[in-house]
Chains A and B, each alone.
Chain A
Amino acid sequence: MRYRIVHTTRYVYDDDVTGSFGQFHLRPRDLPWQQLAAHEVSVGPSPDTLARHTDLYGNTKTVFHVTTPHRLLEITGTSVVDVAAPDVDPEAFATPWERARPASRADVEDAWRALDFTFASPRVAIPDAAREYADASFGAHRPVGECVLDLMHRVHADFTYAPGVTTVNTGVGELLVRRKGVCQDFSHVMIAALRSMGLAARYVSGYLATTPPPGKARLVGADATHAWVGCWLPGGDWLYADPTNDRLIDTSHATVAWGRDYGDVAPVRGVIFTDSKKSELDVSVDMAPADEGVPDPVPA
């Protein structure tokens, strides 16, 4: 599927902002199942500096600095991507979960990199409750792929999608009690559960098609940035599960960036200098199917 994605973030302030330092992850990744055909980001007012680099996890991160006094900051990313459903190696999928723990796989060349995703991270604590929750999905020697799917089903069934109940700072412990939240919270809970078992789990930030393919229902989390979970499989593949929609990712999911949790890959974050007391934030995302023949607006 080819999509055209437009992601706009606007900050409105009630007084002049004399400096905005920001960083964003808006550029979809090139992956075996996803190709970036075109990409462009505009920042207004025009920034004094803007530099992009590839971070530790291979994401494209951009840092910018606006010094023109402003009351409106607008960042728009426009991307054209071709997305297929990722392949999963059935053999890796069938590995007993105990053997999918990077710490126990010194024999696998890249296991040490996956180790990075097995620990608690700034926004994903691993309370005892996470392990207790996870436990039911991890029967002895059960294939890791089944464990992930089962856990995903349970998170989807046990948690209610409810915008406005949580914030980016709501912790896993609290989420496990409240059992309400948005895609970020679903993902953080599932990551904590996977990590509590010693598995490597990462947070993926991306987009979900706004208009469903013909005959399919509209998915939850469209019109906003979306998030899901990757679980490491020995051999180097990752299994990507979307607990908000109770499915493995497919042609509706466009991947932008991954990290240990939301904090590593927040679409836009920053620091401003102002005496302003109030700011409003407005985010809009549109991910619509695009004609394969549509010429690329800008080179990728």
Chain B
Amino acid sequence: MSDLAAYRGAHRDVYDELREPDGAVRPGWDAVAGPMAEYLGNGALARAEAQGARLLNDHGVTIVEQQSPTILDDPPPRGDGVPDRLAAPSPWRLDPIPAVFGAREWQALADGIAQRTRLLDAVLADVYGPRTLMAEGLLPTAAILDHAEYLRPLVGGGVPSQLLVHAVDLGRDASGAWVVMSDRTQAPSGAGYALMNRRVTARVLTDVSSATPIARLSPFFAALRQALTDAAPAAAADPRVVVLSPGPLSETAYDQALLAATLGFPLVQGSDLTVRDGRVFMRTIDSRQPVDVVWRRIDSKWADPLELRAGSRLGVAGLTDCVRRGTVSVVNTLGSGALENPALLPYLPRLCVELLGENLKLGSVATWWCGDAASLTHVLAHLDSLVIRTTSRSGGRGILGGRLTAAQRDRLARSIRHNPQRYVGQEILPLSTTPAADGGGVVARTLSVRAFCVRDGASFQVMEGGLARSGAVEDDRGDVVVTSPGRASSKDVWVVRDDAAPVVARDPVADLRLAASVSGGESAVPRVLSDMHWIGRYAERGESLARLLLAAPVVMDDAARAGDRWRSEASRRYREAITHVTGAYPGQLDPAAPFRDEVLALLRDPLRPGSIAQSLARATSSAQEVREQLSEDVWLVLSAAERALENLPAIGDPVTPSQLIEANERMLTAFLALAGVVGDNMVRDPAWHMLDAGRALERAIQAVRLIRATLAGPRVSPEQGLIDAVMTALESIVTFRRRYPARRTVTAVVELMVLDERNPRSVAFQLRRLGGDLTRMPGASQGSRAVRLAEAAQEMLAGVDPQRVAALGEDGGRDALEEWLDVLASALHDIGGAIEATYLKRPPTQRVMAADAWETDE
């Protein structure tokens, strides 16, 4: 362990980012190393690491790590593209020490990247257009034709193929020169993570970052927004751009959502789009809005179940036809993944001369394509010292020949001989070392960088920054090139200007928070509305249960003080009510079940129906689906709530009442904060109204259930403690005591909690609120069924005599109340169903037309 001042690279013979071999600090770092070493001394680095991790956690920055098979494994069958296993998102890891480069070095690198993008753009246009490069033998023809992403329905379609966004993964060779390890031309991810890394790093290292002239990221995002808008077909006057995501289970869902929100484009999934009359539209509940540009984050193959991969549920049926008609632009154009092909690398220098008349500025890692006889011989003879990859990424992760057993090596060699055009051997890059934070100390780690390039009018612009990745030196010597970026730590990339340009006080996109409200008028997509509605319902359900559990002592203490069986009957009823309300049977219906364990389970067991943990998990998962709709503060609240639950003892372990109370209080605070964030920060658009309707409906349902489970039916006597507990749980005890000082009866409960339209906790109030939300939904003027049902339920409450419904029957119970509440509960249920059917309905199921006469069982 050492600090930054004492840092030296790992090996004398390996290029170090911070220091020259003689120990001098390199350009770029020279402006930063001193202040940073000072700033991070005395344990500050450990604090910076912790603060960074907390900020990332608070903002819900995650990556879903998929275990992808290697090229020796059988590829997993993937029918419709939807992951069948729910991989939980992992926290995004960020090293607070950035990767730092001098502007001069970066500019040369950027020139090389931009040239490379221009070159690949020309290659792409050719392989999907005139195909002269293959005819002339300038490309590894077999590797192009036999590539999983060379999509024949797109060849010669008349619409030129284009590369708008390109990313390169870079590392240094032994001489310290940058080389490209791979090109990302399909749908490059990571620009959003780079943005978040900048925000967090700038915050954690405020004193250093604000005193350093770091190049800004905002010009790149401005260029990206412009490029996407400019990509629209000529006929589009005011182009609408959407970001097509595979959904929140995809590896880089966070990246997609952050970019969509930053650029201000709706984030959609395939089922949100539809094709009509040869055009792509976004489906909303009352209309169809034309879409001009689809920025896809799904692989091309999955983009159209009609002409591309049949059975895909991620795409839009008919999209290819629309592209051919020129009514929509897809970015990058469909089929662009064909250039994510390492077999191209050895051909680039000559292609660059032939196509651009220039020498290739930025080289690639030494690569031998096995489709070439001499290269095949080389690869087979040097299996031990090479990384072996397939030309298509779907072939699996590359592997180090040197780490295989003899049997595996034979198997691999056989596969290569069998289909040589599908394999390449690549040199193992030494990579440079860079200082990295590790538990408060500074250690040497390997460095690789993903850089981003976007079309900018007639030329290309490279982000002055990027997404750096650092890994353990011993592991990474070679392995770095074959693992996904998620396994190591990421770093911000600082390009330090040396032209004495004034330090810009604030990078507009580098603010830690997005604009508080990002929701717009385009959110009436049924899928989005559905998630918003359920966020509202689960948040309210969680809040209700927290209150219910917190109010338990009211009745318990009362019972304990008196100690007679009548009063403990009240406490029994209350405990059973908790089970009835949550539906977590048998729960407290088993008289032997310890109450404390039950409360713990209801707090933190996500598998327990109706538990707080379940409500929180479901609200969170819905929030992840519509991340771009929500204020980022929502994640602060959700992660605080998660932490509160994690701090509780494990289920089955001893727990004290004060731990339970504290956790419940924290949960209550969290749910209240969630309501506050949503209420204060969100535009009143259809998405908000659906969320609010969800809260209102759930609140009414919970109130009806609780009253029915405690005060209706057979009567407990005396029931004062029970009534007070119910009113506490329903958050109306103060009003109740004030308004009915002498007469805290069930009649008064019915009056205040069901009928009183002015009590924001009453059922009547919720019905009015629901009506208000629903009439503000698009298309409500036609009087939707949900609106009519809400009105009917309001009428049902008007004119009810609380005395009569709460009256005791002949057998001494409140059967009338029970019946009446059942009718009310069923009315609420119907409203929920009508909301579902009117606003949240998904399109009909997509199926494959049976293929032909001989097909019998598809």
A: residues with CB less than 8 A from B are 11, 18-23, 48-49, 51, 53-56, 63, 65, 67, 103, 106, 112, 115-116, 118-120, 163-164, 166-169, 182, 184, 224-225, 264, 266-276, 279, 281-283
Contacts and interface: CB of A to CB of B under 8 A. Distances in A.
Given A48-B276, A51-B324, A275 B845 contact: yes
Contact of B152 (A56, A67, A279): A56
B277 interface: yes
B849 A167 contact: no
17 contacts: A53-B157, A53-B324, A54-B156, A65-B321, A112-B134, A119-B146, A120-B419, A164-B856, A167-B858, A184-B854, A225-B853, A268-B852, A271-B310, A271-B317, A271-B848, A279-B847, A282-B853
Nearest to B279: A49
A30 B207 CA distance: 74
B852 A21 contact: no
Task: State the 6 A-B residue pairs at the shortest beta-carbon distance, nearest first.
Answer: A283-B853, A270-B849, A119-B146, A56-B155, A271-B317, A281-B850
Interface in B121-172: 134-135, 137, 141-142, 145-146, 152-153, 155-158
Interface string B539-550: 000000000000
A224 B318 CA distance: 28
A224 B851 contact: no
B843 A271 contact: no
B278 interface: yes
B759 to A, nearest CB: 43
Nearest to A17: B844
B472 interface: no
A271 B847 contact: yes
A51 B419 CA distance: 38
B850 A23 contact: no
B655 interface: no
A117 to B, nearest CB: 9
B275 interface: yes
Contact of A271 (B142, B158, B278, B846): B846
Given A51-B324, A115-B141, A116-B145, A272 B855 contact: no
Contact of A56 (B134, B156, B844): B156
Given A63-B306, A115-B145, A168 B858 contact: yes
B307 interface: yes
A63 B307 contact: yes
Given A63-B321, A118-B142, A281-B850, 16 more contacts: A11-B849, A21-B317, A53-B157, A55-B153, A65-B275, A112-B141, A115-B145, A119-B142, A182-B854, A264-B152, A266-B852, A269-B310, A273-B317, A273-B843, A273-B846, A275-B844
A23 B851 CA distance: 11
A51 B278 contact: yes
Contact of A65 (B135, B156, B318, B856): B318
B327 to A, nearest CB: 10
A267 B852 contact: yes
B845 A273 contact: yes
A34 B852 CA distance: 25
A276 B419 CA distance: 43
A269 B854 contact: no
Contacts of A276: 847
A112 B138 CA distance: 12
A163 B137 CA distance: 44
Contacts of A169: 858
A21 B316 CA distance: 11
A276 B146 CA distance: 38
A225 B853 CA distance: 8
B590 interface: no
Given A56-B156, A112-B134, A112-B135, A268 B849 contact: yes
A18 to B, nearest CB: 6
B857 interface: yes
A94 B155 CA distance: 34
B71 to A, nearest CB: 16
A282 B275 CA distance: 27
B290 interface: no
Contact of B851 (A166, A182, A269): A269
Q: How large is the interface on B (under 10, 10 to 19, 20 to 34, 35 or more residues)?
A: 35 or more
Interface in B88-114: none
Given A21-B318, A167-B856, A271-B306, A115 B142 contact: yes
Contacts of B155: 55-56
A21 B306 contact: yes
Nearest to B325: A51
Contacts of A182: 854
A264 B306 CA distance: 12
Nearest to B414: A128
Contacts of B277: 48-49, 65
A281 B853 CA distance: 7
B853 A224 contact: yes
Nearest to B139: A112
Nearest to B848: A271
A251 to B, nearest CB: 24
A18 B845 CA distance: 10
Contacts of A266: 851-852
Contact of A166 (B137, B421, B854): B854
A281 B275 contact: no
A63 B858 contact: no
Given A56-B156, A65-B318, A182-B854, A21 B275 contact: yes
A63 B145 contact: no
B247 interface: no
A67 B854 contact: no
A168 B851 contact: yes
Contacts of B306: 21-23, 63, 270-271
B305 interface: yes
B556 to A, nearest CB: 51
A170 B614 CA distance: 44
B309 to A, nearest CB: 9
Nearest to B853: A283
Interface string B408-443: 000000000001010000000000000000000000
Contacts of A275: 844-845
Interface in B799-858: 843-858
Contacts of A51: 278, 321, 324-325
Given A21-B275, A168-B851, A55 B324 contact: no
B414 to A, nearest CB: 10
Contacts of B844: 18-19, 273-275
Contacts of A273: 317, 843-847
A118 B155 CA distance: 19
A283 to B, nearest CB: 4
Contacts of A163: 854
Nearest to A267: B852
Given A56-B152, A63-B306, A264-B152, A167 B855 contact: yes
Nearest to B420: A103
Nearest to A48: B277
Contacts of A166: 854
Which of B145, B277, B421: most chain A CB closer than 10 A? B145
A48 B276 CA distance: 8
A23 B854 CA distance: 18
A106 B137 contact: yes
A103 B371 CA distance: 10
B849 A63 contact: no
B142 A103 contact: yes
Interface string B276-308: 111000000000000000000000000001110
Contacts of B856: 164, 167
Interface in B668-716: none
A264 B145 CA distance: 14
A3 to B, nearest CB: 19
A201 B145 CA distance: 15
Contacts of A65: 275-278, 318, 321
A116 B144 CA distance: 9
Nearest to A263: B310
Contacts of B846: 271-273
